[in-house]
Structure formats: structure tokens, C-alpha cells
Structure 1
Amino acid sequence: MEEYYWYNSCPVCNQGRLIITNDITNDRLYLHCEECEMGWLNPGDADNNKNGFLTLLVEFETANPDLEFIKEKEWLSLAKYSFEE
């Protein structure tokens, strides 16, 4: 089982969770909607539903970050919820 950390519900589809995801190609975290595949580099933009991008149209490799990595990237306050899968 792997633990996933997420921030809020998606402002676009209102169904998916915004999962904190590691873009390993560009060495950054972003929020990724598990339902509609939208992404945000800035959590404030996700809150205001602006500057989102369709992750299916962008080429980069991703990984699920652990809580320590999220803390190192200073996104710990965004890891409000978690689930295992």
C-alpha cells in the first residue's frame, strides 16, 4: 500500500482530489486532479481556478512523494488529507 497526500477537491470538476504529485522531470511538486487530470503548479492558483493545465498534454515523469519529500519542498501545510491505495 502506498500513501497519497492531497490538498482539496478540484475546482474544475468538483469530484477529484488534488493530489500532491512530484514532477521528477522538472524537480517540482504540483497538484494533480485524479478525475479530470488538471494540474496546478501553485496552490493559490488552484484555489482561484486559474493557470491550470491539462496534465495529459504535458510530457514529464511523475512519482508519488512521501511526506518527508513534501516537507523538504515546503508543501507540508498542503498535505491536509491522505489515503492509501
Structure 2
Amino acid sequence: MKKYYWYKNCPACKQGRLIITRDLTHERLYLHCEECEMGWLNSSDANENKNGFLTLLVDFETENPTLETIQKNNWSEIANHSFEE
């Protein structure tokens, strides 16, 4: 089972969770909506629903980050929730 960390519900579709995802191509974390596939590079943009991008239109490799990776990138404060699959 994998553990996923997420911030809050998506401001765009209001249904999906914003899952913290690791962009391996650009070596960064971003918030990814599991429902509408929108993404944000930081929590303040997600909070204001601005500067979002449709992740399906961007070519990069991703993976589910570990809690350690989230902490190293100073994203611990937005890892508000988790679930396992």
C-alpha cells in the first residue's frame, strides 16, 4: 500500500483532493487534483485558484513523494491529510 498526502479539496472542481505530487522532470513538488487533473505549484495559488495548469497538457514524469521528501521540500505544513491505497 502507498500512502498519499493531500492538502485540501480542489478549488477548481470542488470534488477532488489536491494530492502532493513529485515532478521528477523539474525536481519539484506540486498539488495535483485527482478528479479534474488541475495542478498548482504552491498552496497560495491553489487557495486563490490562480495560476493553475492542466497536468494532462504538461509532459513530465511524476511519483508519489514520501513524507521525508515532503519535509525536505518544506511542504509539511500543507500535508494536512493522508490516505492509503
TM normalised by structure 1 equals 0.99
The aligned residue for residue 9 of structure 2 is 9
What secondary structure sits across from 2:30 in the alignment?
strand
Gaps of 5+ in 2: none
Q: Which amino acid aligns with 2:6?
A: W
Report Cα offsets for 1:7-47 as digits up to 9, x if no partner.
00000000000000000000000000000000000110000
List alignment gaps of at least 5 residues for structure 1. Answer: none
Task: Give the count of matched residue pairs.
Answer: 85
Identity %: 68
State how far apart, in whole Å, the 1-side matches of 2:9 and 2:41 are: 15
Return the letter of the residue paired with 1:56: L
- After TM superposition, the runs of 4+ consecutive aligned structure 1 residues lying more than 3 A away are none
After TM superposition, the score normalised by the length of structure 2 is 0.99
Alpha-carbon RMSD: 0.3
